[in-house]
Structure 1
């Protein structure tokens, strides 16, 4: 092998590794759990307040002083009222499918959703790995949810193993 080709291959590998680290790839998020959490801190949805999506319509970072532990995850909230609302109705305020992207689930894979790409449909919170997935889902949520309904039980079973 020529030295120039080996050097190019090394650079490609280094850039790929840096991309995974810098984009919060697999090193930062546990994707073998029923709830997407940071594998080092146990914090769900990157510390964003799940209730704030409903109250403000935006992604709002929660605060460490307003935490709750539920479903094996640490949830953060903007204030005590949001924390209390979540604990009273976690099935409403928690992200559907544990924070996994429903567009990817419909394709048969589990990919952690990014809390910055979200949609609220029929009073439920959905997180998406990419903006394009969110937009496709928002255009026809019934189609995606039908496919998710067929695939989610088996995928969820795999996550719990």
Structure 2
């Protein structure tokens, strides 16, 4: 009987740790709405930033995600990780520099099948000067930056 309690505690901590590592929270959600209400699927389908509708929305990772159409909502629900912006919607350039800044849904780029948001158009131009290098830095910095 005494071994059950420590094992149960270990198992619970392990599951929580793995879940947190595998599924970091969306932390950039002003007013609880992800990417300021823009439709994350539209970037991939229409190639542009499109505002989502409040009446076509889903809850995912603690935020409300809005969509311009039911079809886009269904697409997102079938595979949200494929459409959600990297780095929780924070500015990819800021993460590459070791800190957090809000991403602007109008300053974006898809690279390698992933959506990246940048804080503003001027920083987007700076980020685009070395996308591979900036992405490598951002990936390396992300765990520590997320813990800030």
TM over 0.5: yes
Secondary structure at 2:102 match in 1: coil
Q: Deviations over 1:88-135 (max 9, x none)?
A: 111110011001111111111100101010001111111110112222
TM-score, with length taken from structure 2: 0.79
Matched, 1:69 2:50: no
After the TM superposition, which residues 97-116 of structure 1 pair with which residues of structure 2 at under 5 Å, given as runs?
Answer: 97-116=87-106
Partner Cα distance (1:38, 1:144) in 2:
25
Does the 8 Å contact 1:34/1:156 carry over to 2? no
After the TM superposition, which residues 35-46 of structure 1 pair with which residues of structure 2 at under 5 Å, given as runs?
Answer: 35-39=27-31, 42-46=32-36
Q: Which segments of 5 or more consecutive residues in structure 1 lack a partner in the other structure?
A: 1-32
Matched length: 124
Secondary structure at 1:126 match in 2: strand
Q: Which segments of 5 or more consecutive residues in structure 2 lack a partner in the other structure?
A: 1-24
64-73 vs 146-155, which moves further = 146-155
Within the candidate set 80, 86, 89, 1:96 is matched to 86
* Structure 1 ranges of 4+ moved more than 4 A: none
